[in-house]
Structure 1
Amino acid sequence: MIESINGQSLIGCRHYEVAKMLKDLPKGRTFTLKLTEPRKAFDMISQRSAGGKHSGSAQLGTGRGTLRLRAKGPATVEEQQLSPLQPSAFEEKAIEKVDDLLESYMGIRDTELAATMVELGKDKRNPDEFAEALDEQLGDFAFPDEFVFDVWGAIGDAKVGRY
């Protein structure tokens, strides 16, 4: 786990915040990463207050937002509307498999991101169409080709019932 970049602590930061900091580092310049074992990183994150309530007066959202990183312009958080339709068995299995791939490749668990990827891929005819859709909607993640191909495979397997 990355504990700090150039002395700036990242403890408690979300993965997308760390990714943005890394992306914003000047190309060709030396920088310093301080790494720690994953357990130690999670041990240093403070516990939530009792009952999960926020102690400040700030209003909390629904927790169902999506961070949209843009190549030009600021990042925004878009609140997601809860769908009245439940995901199909195929979608549930595909989301689970894609979430497993996110953890395997990137060390994160993000079912919302996995669901978005499944939604983008479920109607695509080939991995190239899927990769284009990912680049269009989630290009700031810069997913490696191998990961994209594995996600395409997981969606395809779920479609035909291969779990």
Structure 2
Amino acid sequence: MPLGLGRRKKASPLMEEEDGGERSALSVSQGGGMPGSSLSPVPPGLPPPAPALRPRLVFHAQLAHGSPTGRIEGFSNVKELYGKIAEAFHITAGDVMFCTLNTHRLDMEKLLGGQIGLEDFIFAHIRGQKKELEVYKSEDSLGLTITDNGAGYAFIKRIKEGSVIHRMQLISVGDMIEAINGKNLIGSRHFEVAKILKELPRGRNFTLKLCEPLKAFGMYIYVCVGI
């Protein structure tokens, strides 16, 4: 789908999932999505402008763990964006887990969703260390909010304080869920992953295979000192 107009929509949260993943189509607005600053739409009844007359949209991006700044252009959906990021930084599109806007931090309120502003700076979070954990489901709710990136990766958006997962202190916001009990979940939507988690029997162990976003060296030092 081509880039178009749109306003940010905040989805209502659910217990174990959130219909707030990055969308497959992207719309563009000026001024970071501020009201009244959208690109002018084509008047009704008129054909869209010829490709040569359309504005050239160029965005700046970095890898969230640290990199030079790259120029990204020529995309109209999330998968194409990941492909352009991969080209700019000489990685594969499958390395990109998700993107945040205007911050390199794991701020889930800054996730790239269905809209991007012309002045927004893109930070791409890429695959880092893998981990496999055994979790005991002592309660019906694990305390997770799951979202996805619109390109086949479901990851943890929020962890409820005091929940089963929070008490483990081994699983973090931003961790991608690769498999549950050996079932590969790459390519699954957030609601599919949430359904599997909900249906796991209480009072039993299950295995989670996760991949965390790549961290800068200094971030690893901080984590080690805090233990």
**Which protein has greater RCO, CA pairs closer than 8 Å, 6+ apart?**
2
Greater share of residues in strand: 2
**Highest Rg: 1 or 2?**
2
TM-score (normalised: structure 1):
0.32
* Structure (1 or 2) with the greater helix fraction: 1
